[in-house]
Amino acid sequence: MNRRGLLVVVSGFSGSGKGTLMKLLMEKYDNYSLSISATTRSPRPGERDGLEYFFKTQEEFLQMIREDAFIEYARYVDNYYGTPKDYVEKQLDAGKDVILEIEMQGALKVKEKMPQTLLIFVTPPTAEELKRRLVSRGTESEEVVAARMAQAKEESRFMDCYDYILVNETNQEESCMERLHELIQSAHQETSRNEEFIEEMREQLKNI
Ligand code: 5GP
pLDDT tens digits, residue range 121-165? 999 999 999 999 999 887 778 898 999 899 999 999 999 999 999
Residue 54 scores a pLDDT above 90:
yes
Q: Which residues pair with 82 in a beta bridge?
A: 38, 73
Residue 33, pLDDT score: 96
Q: How far apart are CA 110 and CA 6, in angstroms?
A: 13
Q: How confident is the model at residue 15 (pLDDT cuts 50, 70, 90)?
A: confident
Q: How far apart are CA 177 and CA 24, in angstroms?
A: 7
Q: Any idea how long the chain is?
A: 208
Q: How far apart are CA 104 and CA 159, in angstroms?
A: 9
Closest CA to 97 of 120, 70, 75: 120
Closest CA to 134 of 154, 119, 151: 151
If one residue of 39, 48, 99 were mutated to test the ligand 1 pocket, choosing by the most ligand atoms within 8 A of its CB, it would be 39
Please give all residues whose beta carbon lies within 6 A of any atom in ligand 1, as ranges.
14, 37, 41, 72, 74, 76, 81-83, 101-103, 105-106
Closest CA to 2 of 189, 203, 186, 199: 189
Task: Characterize the bridge pairing of strands 37-39 and 79-84.
Answer: antiparallel
pLDDT tens digits, residue range 58-97? 999 999 999 999 999 999 878 999 999 999 999 999 999 9
Question: Measured in angstroms, how far is the CA atom of residue 101 from the centroid of ligand 1?
Answer: 7
Residue 1, pLDDT score: 55
Question: Measured in angstroms, how far is the CA atom of residue 102 from the centroid of ligand 1?
Answer: 4
Single-letter amino acid, residue 141: S
Per the CB < 8 A criterion, the answer to whether 113 and 5 are in contact is: no
Q: How far apart are CA 103 and CA 60, in angstroms?
A: 21
Residue 46 scores a pLDDT above 60:
yes
Question: Measured in angstroms, how far is the CA atom of residue 23 from the centroid of ligand 1?
Answer: 15
